Structure 1
Amino acid sequence: MGDQRADFADPMIRELSAQIDQRGGDAPRICWEPVFWADVLEGRETALLRELSAGGDLDHADLRHFIVHSLGDAIAYQQVPRARQQVNVYREIHRRVDESLKRLRRRTREGKPKRAPDVPLVILAHSLGGHIISNYIWDVQSAVRKERKGSPRSPLERMETLATIVTFGCNIALFTLAYNELKPIAFPPRGLRKHFPPGTRRVAITAAARWINFYDPDDVLAYPLRPLSTRYSRTVSADVPINVGSPLTSWNPMSHLQYWTDNDITKPVAELIHGVLALL
């Protein structure tokens, strides 16, 4: 949510890589693949704000910019009927996720035998990204389950190798207001063990296969997930309150933008990723 650049994930990747190496891991073994989708709406949001501002004086320009570029993303991200006059932001953003996963799989299979298994997948998702990836996984799992035409073919793209999920500053809870029955994605996936080296103990894979949701209690856009329903409490391993940001931002809603390189999240996330690496 909000303004993002294509290199938005670079600072976090550098921080996590350094911390994984400090733990004796081998960070270069990790194949990072950010999913950039902000430009799907950025131009339209900027144009909307410019047009509305031209109609008269609007106070609090910076706050309005944040609202339009943040809440605008969430409002626009919804399924709409197929029609020429409609912009299906939901499908366009999911197409970006598709492309990133395909690119990731190609990169992880370079130089490997054709029959080599797909690698375990770890997903990190911030803010609206948590809701997006949850919807994406739900749609993929539904398509695979119903054997729909065009459903993903590789285990990685079918989310069958999904080993760990980390959400931070996540607002999935707000979107559950539209549903009577709250069902999370299927996690961990069945058959995950076969995507780890032969002989890997089941208990070790179970320990690594976790969905951890980090949130700062001062972040009004971030919420715990386990209280949503019994099913969520079974699927999400832990809701972890943390304190992110500087002395100027850690105590107020601006903390929503401060997760990316804060030690309160990068240290435990590095530990989670290191735990998966140790099994490979």
Structure 2
Amino acid sequence: MKKTLAALVIHGIGRQQPGFANGVIKAVSAHLAAEGSDPQQVAWQPVFWDDILRPAQDAYLQAAYAAADLNARRLRTLVLSALGDAAGYRQLPSAGRRGGEETQTYHRVHARLREAMRSLYRRQLDGRPVPLVVLAHSFGGHILSNYVWDSQHRPDQRLSSFERMNWLCGLVTFGCNIPLFTFACHEVQPITFPPPRLPARFKERARWLNFFDPDDVLGWPLKPINAAYDQVVSLDQRINVGGPVTGWTPASHLAYWTDRRFTRRVADFLLTLL
């Protein structure tokens, strides 16, 4: 079937596998079908990057747990993943130059995004641009924001307009912690959204939807960052995700993916673009 919408999915912290997006894709597709819309219209593309930083984190965890009797191991693993991903993504190596240059890890993670966009555009869409929606969880929202910022301010002219994120019509961030990375910035500026080169017929339907569970200590509203974010973010939506055990704890940070309340809202948004 001809694809009329593209959906990129990028994960955040937490131990992830290459099939991390299968659950959310299945759930959203089921909601679309229930509303009478053929889910085959959507071209899905996951962005997996956990294997870039996980080996070093796992090596330390194994050594630490062997050396010391540590409690709350699941929570410790989550915290290490959160802090380790953030530090590893932007920190310069000890022998690296100073001055704010991006690290090799930054480029490796962004290369995964670029490869995913290439595959989405050239294989699934056969080189035909369609509106793009990105689902970004947790730290993945920060990565996605940086990637779009770079595409808007340092565009690679070798890439197609679609691959340069000019067809970005929707952002769905969930458990997002972008605010935590703004405090050291003198002037905090969001990406330009909708992108200036998004075809006019899609701009009125473009939305940035941000979902956060009140018990998710790593998920935050985005509009309070400043007036600029208040303008580009369409909605900060409080939502309860997870079951009776995880729903009221910090573990809710990992519960969005297959929660029916969340996936239904994603499907409802996609329906406005189909």
Q: Retained in 2: the 8 A contact 1:31–1:107?
A: no
Residues 255-266 of structure 1: pairs in structure 2 closer than 5 A: 255-266=252-263
Question: In structure 2, what is the equivalent of residue 97 of structure 1?
Answer: 113
Q: Matched residue pairs, number?
A: 258
Q: What is the rounded CA distance, in whole Å, between the counterparts of 1:212 and 1:191 in structure 2? A: 20
Task: Decide whether aligned partners of structure 1 residues 251 and 55 sit closer, same or farther in structure 2, where only a CA change above 3 A counts.
Answer: closer
- Does the CA contact (< 8 Å) of 1:79 and 1:91 recur in 2? no
CA deviation profile, 1:206-258 (whole Å, cap 9, x unmatched): 44200000001110000000111111011000100000000111112111010
SS at match of 2:46: coil
The Cα shift of 1:193 comes to: 2.2
1:113-152 equivalences in 2 (<5 Å): 117-144=128-155, 150-152=156-158
Equivalences for 1:149-168 in 2 at 5 Å?
150-168=156-174
Please name the residue that 2:9 is paired with. Answer: none
The question of whether the paired residues in 1 share the 8 Å contact of 2:43 and 2:125 is answered with no
Give yes or no for the alignment of 1:31 onto 2:43.
Answer: yes
CA contact 2:152–2:164 (8 Å) conserved in 1: yes
CA distance in 2 between counterparts of 1:82 and 1:153 reads 33
Structure-2 change in CA distance of 1:134 and 1:270 (3 Å): same
1:24 Cα offset (Å): 1.8
Cα RMSD for the two superposed structures: 2.1
Structure 1: 5+ residue stretches without partners: 145-149, 195-201
Partners in 2 of 1:49 and 1:152 — Cα distance? Answer: 41
TM-score normalised over the length of structure 2? 0.88
1:220 aligns with 2:213: no
Q: Which runs of 5+ in 2 are unaligned?
A: 1-12
Q: Which amino acid aligns with 1:137?
A: V
Kept in 1: contact 2:141–2:178 (CA 8 A):
yes
Q: What SS does structure 1 have at the residue aligned with 2:210?
A: strand
Whole-Å separation in 1 of the counterparts to 2:210 and 2:45: 20
Secondary structure of residue in 1 paired with 2:148: helix
Residues 149-201 of structure 1, C-alpha deviations (whole Å, 9 max, x = no match): x445211111110111100000001111121211000100123226xxxxxxx
Please name the residue that 2:196 is paired with: 190
Native 8 Å contact 2:175 2:219 kept in 1:
yes
8 A Cα contact 1:208 1:272, kept in partner? no
1:80 positional shift: 2.6
1:61 matched to 2:67? The reply is no
Greater per-residue strand proportion: 2
Summarize deviations over 1:100-141 as a string: whole Å, max 9, x none. Answer: 00000012333x7xxxx5111110000000000001100111
C-alpha distance in 2 between matches for 1:240 and 1:81: 38
Deviates more, 1:83-92 or 1:18-27: 83-92
Q: TM-score, normalised by structure 1?
A: 0.86
**Residue 52 of structure 1: how far off its partner (Å):** 3.0
Task: Give the aligned residue type for 1:100.
Answer: A
Q: What is the aligned counterpart of 1:247 among 235, 244, 249? A: 244
